[in-house]
Chains A and B, each alone.
Chain A
């Protein structure tokens, strides 16, 4: 009887229920359904993971952008400091040259006064010797 039923594509299962599809096929369909569910879950998980990754990457990007700006700012600051230092150096150099000019003046004045002192003491000595 079962075979006749098979001919009209009706089957018995283990608990003798009448089915329109073959037992094996039914089983495989069931498996497929489960697998599909599994797959769906996994895809959802993957979606979640990717979402969080994107979030993270976005955050990272923002951070990098921020750091980049900070770095550019720091470089500019450094450059300006460099320039400041240069102008400060130039200023100090000018001051040094001014001061050294004054020093030169005073040096030569001192030398001249020493020579004068020497001549005068020579004269004094000469006159004392005469006495």
Chain B
């Protein structure tokens, strides 16, 4: 059994960080991506400043390829939380038909995501951008700071990161410099799901299983609904019960076959992955390397 008592501590830590950002910077903004982590972040921001309203706006980078459910959910959340929403779009690139199939994903992201993001940060002179990234997401993120310093060009220099001691963050900036702040740094994916359930937070319906038309491309299930270039995808159309684990642009977000149709079922699904790990381990206790290999073979 996983205990949940640590969730209170994570919640208080995130609130502490959000208050520091609001107090220490001239013009913070919350990077709102509509996903589950953003939902948690927005909810924590509300709690941090209650009963007053959230003292910074939301910034969403809209590539033009977002699921319509995401856009509807985004607008509804901004309304419910009573917070100003800024939408950044690279209209010229969207107009010119930039897409991942022709440009490749890196160039497409650079044009439709990074460029409008940096431009919006510059235009509004935001000096602190709050994001929902977590250290458990990947190995390289394990060393990320909570306050991640960016130079005048918005660049990150891993050699020049500021050490973070106790809860004393160095928030002094020169003109044009900024920070990215990650209040959910110490949360894991399971914490996010447990928190969503505990707080009964709404989620984009795409997170829940439903029959959707998909095509199998490069061993991934790609959604066809709202796919602007679906006619260019090879293969046969299947209707499969599926959900999305992460939400991004329609052409670059693969679906995941699942029957988890509500929060409890999704959490059960997330935990099930661990249960199989645990199950594997039980026959492995006090073992030698051969047993480990056997277990490993069972995994993959």
A and B interact: no
